[in-house]
Amino acid sequence: MTRNERITVVGGGIGGMTAATALAQAGFPVTLLEAAPVFGEIGAGVTLSPNAMKGLDHIGVCEKVAAAGVEPSRQRVQHWQDGRTLVTMERTGQREKYGAPYVYIHRADLHRILVEAARAAGVDLQTNAAAARTEGTSVILHDGRRIEGDVLVGADGLKSVVRQRFEAVQAHFTGHVAWRALAPVEGALADLASFPGIHIGPGRMITRYPVRGGSLLNMVFFARQPGWTEDGWSLPATPEDLAATYEGWCEDAQAMIRAAATGPIFKWAINARKPLSDWNLEGRITLLGDAAHAMTPFLGHGAACAIEDAVVLSRALAASDTPEAGLRRYVAARHERTTFIQAESNANADRMQGQDSDLFGLGTMRDEESIGLFDYDCRTVAI
């Protein structure tokens, strides 16, 4: 492609911001449209495995992100009833083994670094720019403004406006709900923060890990609750709801529930998408991240896939003579991997929330590392 073709990225989250930066660094004029009045991230923690960090290295922020986060030395899976360790995963030597670190980070800290990188790359960052619909490669905003471009990238998440051009189907409820909370690392939480991991049990699990230099513990509680579909990412929840859901769980779980009760607790329904057959429309419109392949969080790879998409998209467009050719190369390089991860994430929920937790880890492990996800390098994968 010539570097004169204007690229519009809809959505200023992790994937959209990474894509805009990578494309601008490759020489394209890029406009990024964000619905919110200011750039920022809601939520709490995010896990960035080595494959994700390689993507952040591509845009020059890997070490900034690592410095703002926490690199764990180990993780474990524990039994819901007595807290005993079922499996230990060593995380030392990730840089040497995979060429990039494994990092826990607060989403707001990661997003701040990505916004700085996008500004430095010369991206036209526009807030209060909610997309109402698209026409061709143009975006019509809710306030009536029309943003023209030559290539349109939908990075606008689970409820993507751009994806409506591919299929007029809403995301589906997966049968899982989640609560999230942050608490200071003190007292009973100190040991849990120093040895992060997951408690697993029938139909439920709890994930925990430190962020903000180890000063805060990020906690996410998952449970199967068919029929609960109330919409929203930041719906207030009560400690009583959480305590009732995990009644009978071990003292570690109760300690986390008590800590969560000292601050705000948020609950949301976990929705996802079925794979599309293609993310290339008219040779000028494409998708990435949750807009393309929203998945359950049970492999911790939603953000990683969005970052990988962003880097491969920028490389494919930069290496091609036309947008049509670039988008074909992008989809060919990414579709199979993301579809596989979507399926494996669903299967991992069944493995970790099965009825017989005592047997977990006795057979062959199938987690994100054992199935080879960490080896992937979006900087060099064939396009």
Helix ranges (H only) for 69-188 are 94-98, 107-121
**Residue of 6, 372, 25, 367 lying closest to 197 (CA atoms):** 367
Catalytic residue among 102, 104, 209, 376: 209
Distances, alpha carbon 209 to alpha carbons 55, 182, 249, 319, 344, in Å:
22, 10, 19, 39, 22
Distances, alpha carbon 125 to alpha carbons 21, 317, 377, in Å:
11, 21, 28
Q: What is the DSSP letter of 70?
A: B
Alpha carbons 266 and 283: distance in angstroms, whole number: 40
Distances, alpha carbon 135 to alpha carbons 6, 18, 138, 205, in Å:
15, 24, 5, 43
Alpha carbons 377 and 312: distance in angstroms, whole number: 10
Distances, alpha carbon 187 to alpha carbons 193, 259, 341, in Å:
11, 10, 37
Among this protein's residues, is 209 annotated catalytic?
yes
Please count the other Cβ atoms lying within 10 Å of the Cβ belonging to residue 143.
9
Inter-residue contact 259 to 206 (CB < 8 Å): no
Alpha carbons 383 and 381: distance in angstroms, whole number: 6
* Phi, psi angles (nearest 5°) of residue 57: -65, -35
Distances, alpha carbon 337 to alpha carbons 198, 341, 373, in Å:
25, 6, 9
Pairing of strands 7-10, 151-154: parallel
Active site residues: 209
